[in-house]
Structure 1
């Protein structure tokens, strides 16, 4: 899942999960040539000699209970038929004899061994989301289906995430709660200096608690290399892969480095290929979320009671009337010791825009907020931030920042940030807090390790056909991204006409059938095929 970036603090989104919101029940399933070593790995039948010991390892499968790092994972990993293991990889691929990392892997074996095709490795996005948890949650959806019968469903926690070690660590749970309450208008020179000092300290804490070695090697390029080691350890000659949102960037990276080791790829909710300009990526996403805001306002206006009123043209104004008073004055909630800040109200709203299934709880949450109760909006924000009911957090936000800071081109100085924030507001007017735009730089400006330099281009002439799925009303990864990615990979494009972020295996029969036929038979849907809600 790709996360939205909201100026002031660059905030990730968490795994979309089933949630009960105060009686409102809903559910929902961010140019250089490849290195010589990668060329050798992608064209040869065996890995580089210094990596052979990693490629030749076998996985020792066991129960999954000890792999759980969140309350949700603990519950899901108790599902019958799941097994887990740890994969050893170099922490730094340029130092294969140095420190190592352990990658948590989960699988649900194919139910029909005679018909088994191989492993279907998946990544739910983020960066920072747990592939182990998302795969465990998907088991019930694929039970009795052709995919469940013919594929081992495999999810892994990318390096730094969840059950993988070492883990990215930046803030304690208490520090995260405190940071979320900080909603000030950062416009004065003193405020800008203060927030930059906080962001610098955040970067320092990440380095102190994670280690600079991990931060320097947590990017997409390293995870793609881990995926090839995983492919070999699973016993697959070629990789069959399902990637959602940021997982499409990970899939494209793998395809660029190891094109001849790809069997099939479904990439749903595409990030644009070859675009590592962080400001441009976020501005495209801002426009996507404004489109989703407008779609929600249209839907809301047709309801019996709409928190934003009956005129969609005034929805942004009404939204500001409800949320702007929170700046410096958080709303009370039913949760002891917790309040709703302006920042959390905004991020809770964004969380709900990812799926139409959250629109009714969002309407309820805004209505209650207008009457002084921020409880539902706080729950939506908790989903985004990965906060469990017991107050513990997953490390998705820390990983998101760590990967973003080494993957993407950084924005620049204060005036660059001011201009970015100005453009962001124009692209997404609902994010305007009513104060002058800020010039404060975020944590990436102070990150202790440099950006990753090696960013290979796709080589479609060496790739088998891939399938990209793109949704016309996707707020996080705009539809055009999918067309661009399909063209870059020389693959096929399946269009879903609807709202929401990602769609495969989320209940649409048309999309599910097309994706299944491709994964099983390697047959792309007909050109320009479209599915609808």
Structure 2
């Protein structure tokens, strides 16, 4: 299957120490990447539209220490309770909107708690779900709460804030807001999607179909794998599986706003988090406070279109990497960028035909290699790591490639899995997009994707196979989001963002009635809090003072 490409902003928490004598330390970078979209079945990368298209999550292992700790001299917060807004809602919703949360100390000057939400917002008297939250209390004059989503879908906002606070937000926002991370329904510490055990996940993510890619027999193998996965999710998750869609999560977000005591929502969403934020604005325009949507998705795009545009984005990033590599002294390639792209294409084709065995018995095929390539493309600072990985694979060594793919998939070195982000990614995307597994349609889509991205496109195609036979179906429509009546919203886009290409930020900014686009001319996934003062100043001024740029600052 193709790599699921996710759109979560991956905070680099898996550091890769590149030395010839030391084993690379790959720490799972948490999302803000990846992507967001549906699932693709060519390579298994998590991608918004192609989960297996694996939106490549992640920012790779870069040599960068990200700290989520606040200064030690700050006082440890004591247990406290929330003060809901007390707004008038229906009697069925009142127990949720007016619940009082008890916060307890959970280390590093952070407080944690759990909120309750209805399983079905249309029938709130039935079962409930748990939503896990963590917050860092404002260190200065408090503006309110700022809820943060790192992307995915399936990324843990709880872990993002608890483990990478200074990557999620800068010191100015930490002074002015209670920074609140939360796991959306289906994710992590909240009521979570559960599917496979570790051994079954290995088979699902890394097994190589016996038939030739794109043939009827190959499609049948991939569809059976996906169908078995979905059946396990239904058995082990229960009724929750049908209610992890983004609309339900947006209703949860409004409830959390009220429970935290904020009359309007202040929100910072990365990657898939932009779709959640835009969905919220459309449902609750009068409750929009200050929303920043960084690394935007286009809510009107189909699964196939998401995959095609992301394939183009990653191929563009790959070319940028090669241009930089060839200009240096330690590049494993020679000649021009086009010649190097041809070499990479041949390498992918080679392992697709003849996978390379790893020491643990797994086989490195094209899908896993593509995931390993995409992982470091999330951030330009990780490009040297990509050179080392590609060089090693060309010499027949799979070690670093599997480290990268495992980091992307959240697989630990002992074969266990760090979290349920893969399961959640698929479960959410299968409810957020429509899918068509007609072989003729899939082959036409695959041809369009490969034409747009000749090197990696073929390995990101056939994403519909992942969700076409999912236990629960998409019931909505993919359409533009205008959010009429909402307060001004800031949309941030990076010109060569591979996971959420810039055209999506432009499109979302045009769609939203009250949006202002902030462009960052650069590489990598998402732009805020990544050492660009222009972007940071625009975002901080907007969130803290409500100052909306008169025009795009074009940072």
- TM-score, length basis structure 1: 0.86
Partner of 2:11: none
Match of 2:224 among 176, 197, 218: 197
- The yes-or-no answer on 1:312 pairing with 2:340 is no
Aligned-partner Cα distance in 1 for 2:295–2:521: 13
Asked whether the equivalents of residues 296 and 504 of structure 2 are also in contact (C-alpha less than 8 Å), the reply is yes
Structure 1 pair 528–457 and aligned structure 2 pair: CA distance change class (3 A): closer
- The yes-or-no answer on 1:51 pairing with 2:93 is yes
Structure 1 pair 45–486 and aligned structure 2 pair: CA distance change class (3 A): farther
Structure 1 pair 469–191 and aligned structure 2 pair: CA distance change class (3 A): closer
Between 406-415 and 119-128, report the one with greater CA deviation.
406-415
Aligned-partner Cα distance in 2 for 1:469–1:154: 21
Partner of 1:91: 119
Partner of 2:520: 496
Deviation for aligned residue 1:482? 1.1
What is the SS of the residue equivalent to 1:496? strand
Superposed, 1:365-384 pairs within 5 Å as 365-384=389-408
Aligned-partner Cα distance in 2 for 1:422–1:235: 51
Aligned-partner Cα distance in 2 for 1:427–1:395: 32
Between 291-300 and 445-454, report the one with greater CA deviation.
445-454
Structure 1 pair 14–421 and aligned structure 2 pair: CA distance change class (3 A): closer
Partner of 2:311: 286
Once the two structures are superposed, residues 356-382 of structure 1 have per-residue CA deviations (whole angstroms, 9 ceiling, x without a partner) of: 122110010000111111111111111
- The yes-or-no answer on 1:107 pairing with 2:135 is yes
Asked whether the equivalents of residues 219 and 403 of structure 1 are also in contact (C-alpha less than 8 Å), the reply is yes
Aligned-partner Cα distance in 2 for 1:17–1:314: 26
Deviation for aligned residue 1:198? 1.9
Tell me which protein shows more helix as a share of its residues.
Answer: 1
Partner of 2:501: 478
Deviation for aligned residue 1:238? 0.8
- TM-score, length basis structure 2: 0.83
Structure 1 pair 101–110 and aligned structure 2 pair: CA distance change class (3 A): same
Deviation for aligned residue 1:351? 1.3
Once the two structures are superposed, residues 86-139 of structure 1 have per-residue CA deviations (whole angstroms, 9 ceiling, x without a partner) of: 010001112211110000101010012xx1000010101110000011112332
Match of 1:131 among 140, 143, 157: 157
Aligned-partner Cα distance in 1 for 2:319–2:228: 37
Between 217-226 and 304-313, report the one with greater CA deviation.
304-313
Deviation for aligned residue 1:26? 5.2
Structure 1 pair 144–193 and aligned structure 2 pair: CA distance change class (3 A): closer
What is the SS of the residue equivalent to 1:525? coil
Partner of 2:234: 207
What is the SS of the residue equivalent to 1:475? coil
Unaligned runs of at least 5 residues, structure 1:
30-43, 65-78
Deviation for aligned residue 1:433? 6.2
Aligned-partner Cα distance in 1 for 2:268–2:169: 17
Match of 2:371 among 321, 333, 347: 347
Partner of 1:429: 454
Asked whether the equivalents of residues 118 and 128 of structure 2 are also in contact (C-alpha less than 8 Å), the reply is yes
Partner of 2:102: 60
Partner of 2:387: 363
Between 354-363 and 222-231, report the one with greater CA deviation.
354-363
Aligned-partner Cα distance in 2 for 1:15–1:116: 33
Structure 1 pair 221–433 and aligned structure 2 pair: CA distance change class (3 A): closer
Asked whether the equivalents of residues 323 and 342 of structure 1 are also in contact (C-alpha less than 8 Å), the reply is yes
What is the SS of the residue equivalent to 1:347? helix
Deviation for aligned residue 1:327? 2.5
Asked whether the equivalents of residues 56 and 374 of structure 2 are also in contact (C-alpha less than 8 Å), the reply is no
What is the SS of the residue equivalent to 1:327? helix
- The yes-or-no answer on 1:153 pairing with 2:183 is no
Aligned-partner Cα distance in 2 for 1:242–1:320: 38
What is the SS of the residue equivalent to 1:529? coil
What is the SS of the residue equivalent to 2:268? strand
Once the two structures are superposed, residues 147-205 of structure 1 have per-residue CA deviations (whole angstroms, 9 ceiling, x without a partner) of: 1111000010000100001x112221111222333234334433332222222212211
Asked whether the equivalents of residues 18 and 26 of structure 1 are also in contact (C-alpha less than 8 Å), the reply is no
Asked whether the equivalents of residues 92 and 98 of structure 1 are also in contact (C-alpha less than 8 Å), the reply is yes
Unaligned runs of at least 5 residues, structure 2:
1-7, 9-33, 45-50, 68-85
Partner of 2:351: 326
Between 385-394 and 44-53, report the one with greater CA deviation.
44-53
- Tell me the C-alpha RMSD between the 2 structures: 2.5
Deviation for aligned residue 1:319? 0.5
Aligned-partner Cα distance in 1 for 2:230–2:483: 38
Deviation for aligned residue 1:332? 4.5
What is the SS of the residue equivalent to 1:235? coil
Partner of 1:73: none
Partner of 1:389: 413
Deviation for aligned residue 1:314? 1.2
Q: How many residues align?
A: 491
Aligned-partner Cα distance in 1 for 2:462–2:244: 28
Structure 1 pair 441–154 and aligned structure 2 pair: CA distance change class (3 A): closer
Asked whether the equivalents of residues 88 and 102 of structure 1 are also in contact (C-alpha less than 8 Å), the reply is yes
Between 10-19 and 263-272, report the one with greater CA deviation.
10-19
Asked whether the equivalents of residues 168 and 399 of structure 1 are also in contact (C-alpha less than 8 Å), the reply is yes
